[in-house]
Every structure is written in structure tokens, then in C-alpha cells.
């Protein structure tokens, strides 16, 4: 049992490294993961020895190692999340009559891994394999709203981290914090015209057993009742959360 906390801290560091666009200094890792500097260093040295991390000595930074890539490749081959979600999203599309998606966070982007297109609905840019800026999408906002504040700050330290598509949406860390604060208060995230003019989306996060957001379920629509869609999206996200061994988060009512 004494090894369990160490394993948890190691996985926290691994997850943090995987979310960064480039290798990061030890102090940043320790601070963002809530670890003493000495603890973070010893964990990283063990990860380097096992191939899960790489130490760039000249730059005084740590990044992911080849073993982490191998684990990611194994995940891609097995597609457990996609397998679990595919029928559930198809059922959501049938209920709401709109196109639905499952997306995961990849650096500062979301990567779409499952899509169910509704018949007769407008064409979308969210094909499987497409990446879009997380801060502009409902899916990305739903995930970011459930991440620790330190991790969000590391992803978006200043205005240079923000990509613009149509001249709307958060463009500074302060504006993003306000958007994520609203998403947390509602229990779901929204975007309106920030990805594709004339289309809007609602999304809710899927959580693992550590209450970490591993994905987001979203519905994209043109003319529909967003509150009704939000209820269905949250219902689907909570179902997937339970199937992954997580506990569905307490979410505010859409009526509040």
C-alpha cells in the first residue's frame, strides 16, 4: 500500500508532461503537480531510467520518453475510450437529432476521436482526427474547466498561446478564466460561432476515477434548445464517466 501514493504522483507527473507542448523545467513540474521539488526530481529520475521521461541536460528540462510513446501507441491500437463511447454517442444523436462528438485534449488542442453525424444537418469541420484550438471549442472548454488551475496556466501563460479563427473567443488568460468559470458554474461548456459561424456547440467532460477530465462529449447544432441539449450531453458524459470507473460530478441545474 505504501507504493500507491508514489504511483499516483508518478502518473500525475506523466499526465502533466503529456499535456505540455514542449519539455519543461523541474520547478514548473513540481509546482504544477503540487509536489516538493525533491520528490518531483526523484520521480522524474525513475521515469528517465524506465524510459517514460527524457532529461534534456543542457536545457534543464524534462519531456516524455519513448516508453510513453509506446503506451500511447498501445492505447491507439486498443481504442478503449472510442469503443466505450461509440454506441453511446450514436444513441445521443438519435435522441437529439444533432451531430455528436467525443474529443480529448492534446496539448492546447482538442482531438476528435469519435463522431456521429445526424442526417440532414450542416457539414462540420470536426471529422475524426481533426484538431482544433481547445479554448475555442465547447469540448476543450469542458475539459479545461475541470483541470487544475495551475495546469491551465501552464498551457496558456500569455496571449501568444491563443489561436484566433474568426476574431471572437478568449484571447488572454484572464478572458479564458472567465469562460471556464462560467462553464463550471453551469456544469457544461458552450461555444457559439467561434469554430464555425452560424453553428454552436454544448459539451460536458467525461471523468476518470481520479475525477480527471479524459474527454468531452459535445453536440453541435444550428437551431435548437441549448438547455435540452445540455441535459442530454451531461447525461451521456456521466454515463461514460461511470463506465470508465469514475464518479459523475455534481453539476448545477441548467435552470439555475
pLDDT confidence tier of residue 123, bands split at 50, 70 and 90? low
Domain locations in the chain?
3-71, 79-243
Cell numbers for 28: 514548473
Higher pLDDT, 64 or 5: 64
Residue 254, pLDDT > 60, answer no
- Quick one: pLDDT at residue 253? 37
pLDDT confidence tier of residue 251, bands split at 50, 70 and 90? low
Question: pLDDT tens across 67-117, in order?
Answer: 887 776 666 555 678 888 889 999 999 999 999 999 999 888 998 988 888
Distance CA 153, CA 148 (A): 9
- Quick one: pLDDT at residue 119? 81
Question: pLDDT tens across 136-176, in order?
Answer: 999 999 999 999 999 899 999 999 999 888 878 899 999 99
Average pLDDT for residues 241-247, to the nearest whole number? 84
Average pLDDT for residues 201-209, to the nearest whole number? 92
Distance CA 179, CA 171 (A): 11
The verdict on domain 3-71 having CATH code 2.60.40.1250 is no
Cell numbers 500511447 correspond to what residue? 72
pLDDT confidence tier of residue 249, bands split at 50, 70 and 90? low
**Sheet bearing 131-133, strands edge to edge:** 131-133, 109-116, 99-106, 213-221, 200-207, 189-192
pLDDT confidence tier of residue 6, bands split at 50, 70 and 90? confident
Quote the radius of gyration of the chain (alpha carbons, Å). Answer: 19
- Quick one: pLDDT at residue 166? 80
pLDDT confidence tier of residue 250, bands split at 50, 70 and 90? low
pLDDT confidence tier of residue 229, bands split at 50, 70 and 90? very high
Question: pLDDT tens across 20-76, in order?
Answer: 888 999 999 999 999 999 999 999 999 999 999 999 998 999 999 888 877 766 665
- Quick one: pLDDT at residue 256? 30
Three-state secondary structure string covering the chain: CCHHHHHHHHHHHHHHHHCCCCCEEHHHHHHHHCCCHHHHHHHHHHHHHCCCEEEEHHHCEEEECHHHHHHHHHHHHHCHHHHHHHHHHHHHHHHHCCEEEEEEEECCEEEEEEEECCCCCCCCCCCCCCEEEHHHCHHHHHHHCCCCHHHHHHHCCCHHHCCCCCCCCCCCHHHHHHHHHHHHHHCCEEEECCCCCCCEEEEEEEECCCCCEEEEEEEEECCCCHHHHHHHHHHHHHHHHHHCCCCCCCCCCCCC
Q: Are 218 and 103 in contact (CB under 8 A)?
A: yes
- Quick one: pLDDT at residue 206? 93
- Quick one: pLDDT at residue 90? 93
CATH code that applies to domain 79-243: 3.30.450.40
pTM of the predicted model as reported, rounded to 2 decimal places: 0.68
Q: Are 24 and 34 in contact (CB under 8 A)?
A: no
Distance CA 54, CA 40 (A): 14
Mean pLDDT of the chain: 87
Amino acid at each position: 500500500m505504501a507504493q500507491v501514493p508514489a504511483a499516483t504522483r508518478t502518473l500525475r507527473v506523466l499526465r502533466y508532461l503529456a499535456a505540455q507542448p514542449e519539455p519543461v523545467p523541474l520547478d514548473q513540474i513540481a509546482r504544477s503537480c503540487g509536489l516538493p521539488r525533491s520528490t518531483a526530481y526523484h520521480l522524474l529520475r525513475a521515469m528517465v531510467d524506465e524510459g517514460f521521461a527524457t532529461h534534456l541536460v543542457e536545457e534543464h528540462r524534462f519531456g516524455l520518453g519513448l516508453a510513453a510513446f509506446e503506451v500511447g501507441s498501445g492505447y491507439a491500437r486498443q481504442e478503449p475510450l472510442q469503443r466505450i463511447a461509440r454506441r453511446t454517442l450514436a444513441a445521443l444523436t438519435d435522441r437529439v437529432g444533432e451531430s455528436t462528438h467525443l474529443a480529448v485534449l492534446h496539448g492546447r488542442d482538442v482531438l476528435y476521436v469519435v463522431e456521429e453525424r445526424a442526417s440532414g444537418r450542416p457539414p462540420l469541420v470536426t471529422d475524426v482526427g481533426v484538431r482544433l484550438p481547445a479554448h475555442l471549442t465547447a469540448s476543450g472548454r469542458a475539459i479545461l474547466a475541470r483541470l487544475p488551475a495551475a495546469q491551465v496556466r501552464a498551457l496558456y501563460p500569455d496571449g501568444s498561446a491563443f489561436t484566433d479563427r474568426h476574431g471572437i473567443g478568449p484571447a488572454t488568460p484572464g478572458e479564458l478564466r472567465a469562460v471556464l468559470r462560467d462553464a463550471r458554474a453551469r456544469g457544461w461548456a458552450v461555444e457559439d460561432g467561434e469554430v464555425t459561424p452560424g453553428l454552436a456547440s454544448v459539451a460536458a467532460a467525461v471523468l476518470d476515477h481520479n475525477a480527471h477530465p479524459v474527454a468531452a462529449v459535445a453536440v453541435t447544432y444550428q437551431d435548437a434548445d441549448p438547455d435540452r441539449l445540455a441535459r442530454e450531453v451531461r447525461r451521456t458524459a456521466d454515463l461514460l464517466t461511470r463506465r470508465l470507473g469514475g464518479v459523475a460530478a455534481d453539476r448545477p441545474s441548467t435552470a439555475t
